[in-house]
Chain A
Amino acid sequence: MSAVVLLIDDDRRIRNSLGRLLRVLSYQVVEAADWDAALVLAAAQRPDVVVTDLHMPEHSGVDIARRLRSHPELGGIPIIALTATPPRDDETISLFHAVLEKPCAAEDLKRALTDALQVRKH
């Protein structure tokens, strides 16, 4: 059974294209456009890994990561950040399993996801 990826991005087109790529890479994808949807889906679907955009209106990817990390049940889900302007402070970086520059190559994404899933299994 393929792993479930929660994809968070406010831009519909990014969600569509990245969702398509993830599906081609044989993942199950659940998509959320904002903070509320992301938390609901995370709780409901219990994804194996979260892939999020960092820059979004109202609540950024960093906010979501913090919230998930502080969650007693969801705190262990690895989160991969996708951003055009990667954060530089360690505290933010430490929230994520990986920070990938947007857009990233399919292999890099695959590698990061595989790696994250490995960590998750352990």
Chain B
Amino acid sequence: MTRGTWTASEAGPAALPVDSAALLLPLSGALYFLAASLELGLRGADAIVVLSPQHGVLLALLMLTRPERWWLIAAAVVPAHLAACWSTGLPLWQLAWQGGFSFILATGITTALRVLLGERSPFDDLRDYSLYVLTAVVAGPALLTMLAPNVLLSLLTGTMDLAVADWQAETLASSLAILTWGSWVYLELLPRPGWLQQRTPAQYVEVLLIAVALYGCFHLTFGRAAEYHTALYLLLIPLLWLSVRFGVAAAAMAVTLVASAATALEHIPQSVRLREAPEAAALDLQIFLIVMALGAMTIAILVDERRRAARAALVDAEQRLIEPQASGPDIGTLRRAELELQRNDERLACIARVACDEIYDWDIARGELWSSCGDASNDRAPSVRQMTMESWGCSIHPSDRERVMHDLRQTLQGTADTWQADYLYIGSGGSPHWVRDRACIVRDANGTPTRIIGAITDRSDHKKLEEANRTLERVGRLAMIGQITASIAHEMNQPLVAIRYNAEAGLLFLGRESCEKAELHDILDDIRRDNRRASELVGRLRELLHDRELRLDPIDINDVITDVVKLLRVESRQRHVQLETECTELPTVLGDYARMQQVLLNLILNGMDAMAGLPETHRRIAIRTARTGATRIQVEVVDRGSGIDPATLPRIFDSFFTSKEHGMGLGLAIARSIVEAHGGRIWAKNNIDGVGATLSFEIDSLDSKVILPADSTDRYGARLN
């Protein structure tokens, strides 16, 4: 057990640290010899026994030793007793009786204590100490001192008064010894840290102060000049101070020293003495010392017990904080929740680091932004900072700021619960980089947006890839248009020629005397119509040439095919390829008209290339459309060429893959990327009859209400309007 205010205070079963005979024998013998010698020395001039230390020492030794080892102690005590008491000149039988009595007293009390307390130390709590006091201090000595040689002899000789007086004196001397020496020796020999160990310098100073106070008070109480009973209380001050501050072992030592010193005095001071007779005064002193020791020890045990309970509660609380209990809304649950929160934060930060660059939760109402990625000042740990719409806007590059802020404001005003934007982000580092910002919008019951929770992903690499793709696509598109220049020129020229003839006719018509208005009206109407036709063609060509984002409108694929076949008229004539269309009525699809033209142009030109080596009469391409399933439409371009080598079939839509001498390998790759951007798929197969191949694609009709997959919009940055 520790005796400290600040060191750990442990309670537990008592066991002598040294259990071997080799050490137990000399230890017991030496201690007993010292105690017995002390008793002889303490006897005053009147030879009155006030304190019998050997009883206390023997009790402590027995309490700390297993009963099967008690014979070792007995073996050590007998010679020690004889050696110590030989000088008294008493006959041997009386000396033996004294020793035997001492042993009986100690073993009797220890046995009773073992029955009551088991292996427990009696100084660990007040209940056990009470049992100790009743058994070892009151009942044991009171009963067993009747066996003391002088008491029993007085009884046997019939001197009852002397027997009672001797019994009183012997009992109180034993009680005091057990209270003081018994406690001190027991506590000192317990295998626990001493009460002076692991103290701070201030505490050593405090112990010194207490010692000085104790000495001073002792002098004032027991000095020859001390005449007042009230002076006795002075001694209690340092004793209680020590008991409270340094625990039961310190108290045991102090009361033992005080009791021994008081007993050793030549006189019994006035302050203690209630009666004049030496025997009565000795009793007064014994009673005073017993009360003092009991008081100090009780206080010390009480304080230790409280301190231990408080410490145990603290340890228990700490334990529960670390290993929370399964049930109950206790502090453990809270701690667990806190740990879980902490883990969630770590989880979020890790996910943010690997999946995207930043996760944020923007409380719009409070203007607070939680970000998984703080700034450099806090080591980029998750942080919360103030954020308004304006301050957020400052993190967007000026070239994108207005567009993105307008877009977000519009979304917030609407009912959408998601938002996405690509923009140039100016991070804390200052250098702008492309990001994709995807967020969920949290709204209250009225639909008012309250929070925006989202993730920002760096898209710089993707943007570069996108740029490269666009460049590639542009190159492929220009190459394709270059291929059909003659067709385009012819198509452009046709309405211009018609306009010119109509204009010539109109002019001549005006020169006539009889000019019919109706005829003139027809001419002008035709001119207007041809002009529109030319404008439309120019517009579509511009669309085809223009490098812009994917724009999805409701379109009829059959119209696209008609236009493409017209555009390829000259080309097909020059190549002697016959174009046939087998179009069935189709539902509207959501598509980009110009891009779809591009797909068909690429597929048909590919078919024309495939048939370049065939006799002219065999060169035929059929373009067919059909509905597949309830919501999809399919377009097939069937040529009668040499077919596709099965080994290369899976790769014909790959970029830069070509089997032609002068091909770039872009046409079909571009066709595939456009079809996939429309949420469709494209494939090729050789015809069943073994002649030529069929290139097909299918896309969803507008009826299916299919939202384009996110990835398909990436390539062109398309957005549904």
Q: Which residues of A contact B (CB under 8 A)?
A: 11, 13-14, 16-18, 20-21, 23-25, 55-58, 60, 84-85, 102-103, 105-106, 109
**Contacting residues of chain B (310-348) with chain A, CB-CB under 8 angstroms:** none
Smallest CB separation, A14 vs chain B (Å): 5
B residues within 8 A CB of A17? 497-502, 505, 526, 530
Decide: B489 and A84 in contact? CB cutoff 8 A. yes
List the A residue with the shortest CB-CB distance to B529. A13
Check B494–A13 contact: CB distance below 8 A.
Answer: yes
Do A13 and B526 touch across chains, with their CB atoms under 8 A apart? yes
Query: With A55-B570, A84-B493 in contact, do A21 and B504 touch (Cβ < 8 Å)?
Result: yes
Known contacts A21-B501, A103-B500, A106-B508; is-contact A84 B526 (Cβ 8 Å): no
Residues of chain B within 8 A (CB-CB) of A60 are 573
Q: Which of A14, A21, A57, A58 contacts B494, CB < 8 Å?
A: A14
Give the residues from 503 to 527 in chain B that come closer than 8 angstroms, CB to CB, to chain A.
Answer: 504-505, 507-509, 523, 526
Contact A13 B498 (CB under 8 A): yes
Distance from B276 Cβ to chain A, minimum over Cβ atoms (Å): 154
Contact B497 A57 (CB under 8 A): no
Distance in Å from the Cβ of B390 to the closest Cβ of chain A?
59
Whether B526 contacts A16 by the Cβ 8 Å rule is yes
Q: When chains A and B are docked, how far (Å) is the Cα of A106 from the Cα of B530?
A: 19
Q: How far is the CA of A25 from the CA of B570 in the complex (A)?
A: 30
Instruction: Tell yes or no: B552 within 8 A of A by CB.
Output: no
Which B residues between 481 and 496 are near A, CB-CB below 8 angstroms?
Answer: 486, 489-490, 493-496
* Smallest CB gap from A106: residue in B: B504
Q: A14-B501, A17-B499, A102-B497 are in contact. List 13 more A-B contacts (CB 8 A).
A: A13-B495, A13-B529, A14-B498, A16-B498, A18-B498, A18-B501, A21-B508, A23-B505, A24-B505, A24-B508, A55-B573, A84-B490, A103-B501
Bound together, the chains give a CA A23 to CA B504 distance in angstroms of 12
Residue among A13, A17, A58, A60 with the highest chain B CB neighbour number at 10 A: A17
**A-B contacts, 7 listed (Cβ < 8 Å):** A11-B494, A14-B494, A21-B501, A21-B508, A60-B573, A84-B490, A109-B504
Q: A residues within 8 A CB of B530?
A: 13, 17
Structural contact, B493 and A102, CB atoms closer than 8 A: yes
Question: Given the complex, which residues of B lie within 8 Å of A16, measured CB to CB?
Answer: 498, 526
In the complex, A17→B500 CA distance in Å?
8
Residues of A within 8 A of B507 (CB): 106
Q: How large is the interface on B (under 10, 10 to 19, 20 to 34, 35 or more residues)?
A: 20 to 34
B498 lies within 8 A of A57 (CB): no
Residues in B with CB closer than 8 Å to A84 are 489-490, 493, 497
Q: Which residues of A contact B509 (CB under 8 A)?
A: 24
- Known contacts: A13-B526, A13-B530. The answer to whether A20 contacts B505 by CB under 8 A is yes
Least CB distance from A122 to B in Å reads: 28
Instruction: A55 to B494: give the CA distance in the assembly, Å.
Output: 11
* Chain A residues near B497 (CB-CB < 8 A): 14, 17, 84, 102-103
CA distance A58 to B578 in the complex (A): 8
Dominant secondary structure at the B interface: helix
Q: Which residue of A lies closest to B486 (CB)?
A: A85
Contacts of B578 in A (CB 8 A): 58
B494 — nearest CB in chain A belongs to which residue? A11
Task: Indicate if the CB atoms of B490 and A20 lie closer than 8 Å.
Answer: no
Nearest B residue to A13, CB-CB = B498
Measured in the bound complex, the distance between the Cα atoms of B498 and A51 in whole Å is: 15
Let me know if B620 is at the binding interface, CB within 8 A. Answer: no
- Scoring B498, B529, B578 by chain A CB atoms within 10 A of each residue's CB, the highest score goes to B498
Is B477 interfacial (CB-CB < 8 Å)?
Answer: no
Tell me which of A11, A56, A58, A84 has the highest count of chain B C-beta atoms within 10 A of its own C-beta.
A84
Which single residue of chain A is at the shortest CB-CB distance from B522?
A: A20
Closest-CB distance, A12 to chain B (whole angstroms): 9
Taking a contact as CB atoms closer than 8 A, the residue among A18, A55, A58, A103 that contacts B490 in the complex is A55
> CA–CA, A102 to B578, complex, Å?
25
Q: Are B573 and A20 in contact (CB under 8 A)?
A: no
Instruction: Enumerate chain B residues within 8 angstroms of A23, measured Cβ to Cβ.
Output: 505
Residues of A within 8 A of B502 (CB): 17, 20-21
Task: Across the interface, name the chain A residue whose C-beta is closest to B576.
Answer: A58
Residue of B nearest to A109 (CB): B504
Interface status of B55 (Cβ within 8 A of chain A):
no
Residues of A close to B451: CB separation below 8 A:
none
User: Does chain A have a CB within 8 A of B569?
Assistant: yes
B495 neighbours in A (Cβ, 8 Å)? 13
What are the interface flags for B437-466 relative to A under an 8 Å C-beta threshold, 1 for contact and 0 otherwise? 000000000000000000000000000000
Q: How far is the CA of A56 from the CA of B569 in the complex (A)?
A: 9
CB contacts (< 8 Å) of B490 on chain A: these are 55, 84
Contact present for B504 and A105 (CB under 8 Å): yes
Chain A: CB-nearest residue to B570: A55
The smallest beta-carbon distance between A50 and chain B, in angstroms, is: 17
Q: How far is the CA of A109 from the CA of B507 in the complex (A)?
A: 15
CA distance A114 to B218 in the complex (A): 157
Which residues of the other chain, B, contact A20 by a CB distance below 8 angstroms?
501-502, 505, 523, 526
Contacts of B533 in A (CB 8 A): 13
Task: Tell which of B494, B526, B572 has the most Cβ of chain A within 10 Å.
Answer: B494
Flag B515-557 by CB within 8 Å of A: 1 or 0 each.
0000000010010011001000000000000000000000000
CB-defined contacts of A13 to chain B, threshold 8 Å? 494-495, 498, 526, 529-530, 533
Q: Of residues 618 to 651 in B, which have CB atoms within 8 Å of A's CB atoms?
A: none
Report B256-293 residues with CB < 8 Å from chain A CB. Answer: none
Whole-angstrom CA separation of A80 from B32 in the bound complex:
151
In angstroms, Cα B492 to Cα A11, docked, is 13
Report yes or no: B569 in contact with A57, Cβ–Cβ below 8 A.
Answer: yes
Considering the complex, give the chain B residue whose CB is closest to the CB of A26.
B508
How many angstroms from the CA of A11 to the CA of B502 in the assembled complex?
Answer: 14
A85 proximity list for chain B (CB < 8 A): 486
Q: Write the chain B residue with the least CB distance to A105.
A: B504
Complex CA distance for A25 and B408, rounded to whole angstroms = 66
Instruction: Give bound CA distance, A56 to B572, whole Å.
Output: 11
Q: Which of A16, A25, A60, A103 has the most CB of B within 10 A?
A: A103
Which residues of A are found within 8 Å of B529, using beta-carbon distances? 13
Chain A residues, CB < 8 A from B501: 14, 17-18, 20-21, 103
**A57 and B508 in contact (CB under 8 A), knowing A84-B489, A102-B497?**
no
A21 neighbours in B (Cβ, 8 Å) = 501-502, 504-505, 508
